[in-house]
Each structure stands twice: as structure tokens, then as C-alpha cells.
């Protein structure tokens, strides 16, 4: 068997793509492709690397001697990495590093087990916009999310939405914050929900300095009173935030 045929067979037995073999040898996929097509032949240093990588003698590798009987070879754990050559602020525009185990990625767009970047996607992600099981960022989305804007199973942020939400404005099944809306809502200022507790509380059951209960039965006159009470107690409240409670 000639070298280029031997190389293709060896690579496939290892369960590698041309790109993955190139990564191991620090060459491009196109270079590996040319070797396997017989268009070019590796330099001596690359032949030695191939010999060590496949655990064969040089003669076995180039086809001058038959290969010794080998045991079954299983594909290695999947791993793929791509890092763009173009950079911005010293970071690659795109860095993708995925596979079995902890794979770290850092770039403008970062995708990996642990990802850091302007846009970050990973099991653990940190960035201006981050998406992951655990995410931290200006805008964070994840099972556990923390950021200025946070959306998740458990979310912590200035504006938080989640099953459990804690923030300046919190919306969730259980919500706690300066202002809160949820099944159970607890707020320092205004709370609205199934059960609401706050300085001003509106809910089916409500507890506060100013409280309105039986929310489904509240009339337009009640909401006018709620509006005037909120504006009296908190005259600097944002109009859009006031609208949430007295829409």
C-alpha cells in the first residue's frame, strides 16, 4: 500500500477528520488532503510526527513494510476548535472550542464549555451578551443568570425575569426586588402577584402599608387610587414601570 493510501486508512481507523489530523500536526486540512491524494509528500519532520502519532515505524508508514497486527482502535473523544485569524481589540473575531471535557473559548464571539467574549455561548459564559447554563453579562440568559438584564431559571439583575427572580425589577414565579411581580412577590416598594408583600401591595392576598386584595375584583376607581398612591409615595417612578402596575 502506498503512503497516501496508508495515511487515509490510518486516519479513518483513528476516527479523525482531515481537519483534526491537521490540528494534531499543526498543518491545514488542505495540506492533509493533498497528502492523501498523493499530490504532495510530507517533509521528513512531518513524516516523523506521523510515525509517532500512529505508533508505526517509518517503513510501515510509507508502505515499505507490512504493518504489524494491531488491536482494535476506537475513535478518540470528539473535539473541534476554530480560531479566526482576524482580531479586534486583541481578541479573535470568532473562537469555537467544543468537545468532551472543559474547552475554553475567548473571542468577540466565543463558543465553548467555558466562554468569554462580547457574545458568549457555553455551559459557563461571561460576556456582554451571554447564553449558557450559568451566564453572566449585560444581557444574561441561562439556567442561572446574572446581569443588568437577566433571564433564567434563577435570575439576578437590575431587570430580572425567571422562575426565581431577584432584581431592581423582578418578574417571576417567585420575585423579590425593589419592584416585583409574580406568583409570590416581595418588594421594598411595590409588589403585585398572587401573594404580594411590599410597601404598596396588590394581589389576591396582599400585605403592606397600602394593600389591595382580591385583584380580580379591583375596579377602575381602585386602580386610579393605586396610581395616585404610587405617584405620591414614589414621584420619580418611570412611566413605563408605573404602567406595569396600573395598565
Reduced 3-state DSSP string for 141-154: EEEEEEEEEEEEEE
Q: Are residues 105 and 174 in the same domain?
A: no
Determine, yes or no, domain membership for 103: yes
The whole-number average pLDDT for the span 174-184 is: 96
**Which single residue is written with the C-alpha cell 437590575?**
158
CA angle at 212 for the pair 208 and 218, rounded to the nearest 5° = 165
Determine the average pLDDT of the residues in 152-156.
94
In the chain, the number of structural domains is 3
Residue 185 pLDDT > 80: yes
Asked, for residue 131, whether it belongs to a domain, the answer is yes
Instruction: Return the pLDDT at 198.
Output: 96
Same domain, residue pair 132 and 157: no
Residue 27 domain flag: yes
Tell whether 176 and 158 lie within a shared domain. Answer: yes
Q: Are residues 129 and 158 in the same domain?
A: no
Q: Strand 94-99 to strand 91-92: parallel, antiparallel, or no bridges (unpaired)?
A: unpaired
Which CATH number is 33's domain given? 1.10.260.40
From first CA to last CA, the distance across the chain in angstroms is: 79
Query: What integer pLDDT is reported at residue 241 of this predicted model?
Result: 94
Residue 58 has a pLDDT of 83
Q: Give me the mean pLDDT over the 10-15 stretch.
A: 87
pLDDT tens figures, 32-84: 999 888 889 888 888 888 888 888 888 888 776 665 554 444 455 578 888 88
pLDDT at 71: 46
- The reported pLDDT for the residue numbered 68 is 53
The answer to whether position 128 is within a domain reads yes
- Kindly report whether the global pTM for this prediction surpasses the value 0.75: no
**% the chain with pLDDT above 70:** 94
Instruction: Determine the pLDDT at residue 93.
Output: 92
Give whole-number Cα distances, 78 to 18, 74, 81, 101, in Å.
14, 12, 10, 10
**Any domain includes 187:** yes
* 190 falls within a domain: yes
206 and 155 inside one domain: yes
Does some domain include residue 68?
Answer: no
Could you list the residue range(s) of the whole structural domain that residue 32 is in?
Answer: 3-62
Q: In the chain, pLDDT over 90 holds for what percent of residues?
A: 62
Task: Tell me: do 194 and 110 sit in the same domain.
Answer: no
Residue 151: Cβ within 10 Å count: 21
Amino acid at each position: 500500500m502506498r503512503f497516501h493510501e496508508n495515511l487515509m486508512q490510518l486516519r479513518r481507523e483513528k476516527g479523525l477528520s482531515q481537519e483534526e489530523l491537521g490540528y494534531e500536526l499543526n498543518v491545514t486540512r488542505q495540506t492533509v488532503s493533498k497528502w492523501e491524494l498523493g499530490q504532495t509528500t510530507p517533509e521528513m519532520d512531518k513524516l516523523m510526527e506521523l510515525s509517532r502519532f500512529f505508533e508505526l515505524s517509518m517503513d510501515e508508514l510509507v508502505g515499505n513494510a507490512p504493518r504489524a497486527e494491531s488491536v482494535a482502535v476506537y475513535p478518540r473523544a470528539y473535539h473541534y476548535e476554530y480560531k479566526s485569524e482576524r482580531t479586534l481589540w486583541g481578541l479573535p473575531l470568532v473562537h469555537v472550542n467544543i468537545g468532551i471535557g472543559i474547552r475554553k473559548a475567548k473571542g468577540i464571539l466565543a463558543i465553548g464549555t467555558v466562554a468569554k467574549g462580547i457574545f458568549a455561548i457555553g455551559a459557563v459564559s461571561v460576556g456582554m451578551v451571554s447564553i449558557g447554563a450559568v451566564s453572566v453579562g449585560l444581557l444574561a440568559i441561562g439556567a442561572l443568570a446574572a446581569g443588568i438584564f437577566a433571564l433564567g431559571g434563577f435570575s439576578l439583575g437590575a431587570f430580572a425575569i425567571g422562575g426565581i427572580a431577584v432584581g431592581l425589577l423582578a418578574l417571576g414565579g417567585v420575585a423579590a426586588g425593589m419592584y416585583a411581580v409574580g406568583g409570590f412577590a416581595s418588594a421594598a416598594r411595590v409588589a403585585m402577584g398572587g401573594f404580594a408583600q411590599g410597601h404598596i401591595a396588590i394581589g389576591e392576598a396582599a400585605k403592606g402599608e397600602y394593600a389591595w386584595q382580591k385583584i380580580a375584583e379591583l375596579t377602575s376607581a381602585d386602580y386610579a387610587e393605586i396610581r395616585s398612591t404610587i405617584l405620591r409615595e414614589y414621584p420619580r417612578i418611570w412611566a413605563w414601570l408605573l404602567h406595569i402596575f396600573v395598565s
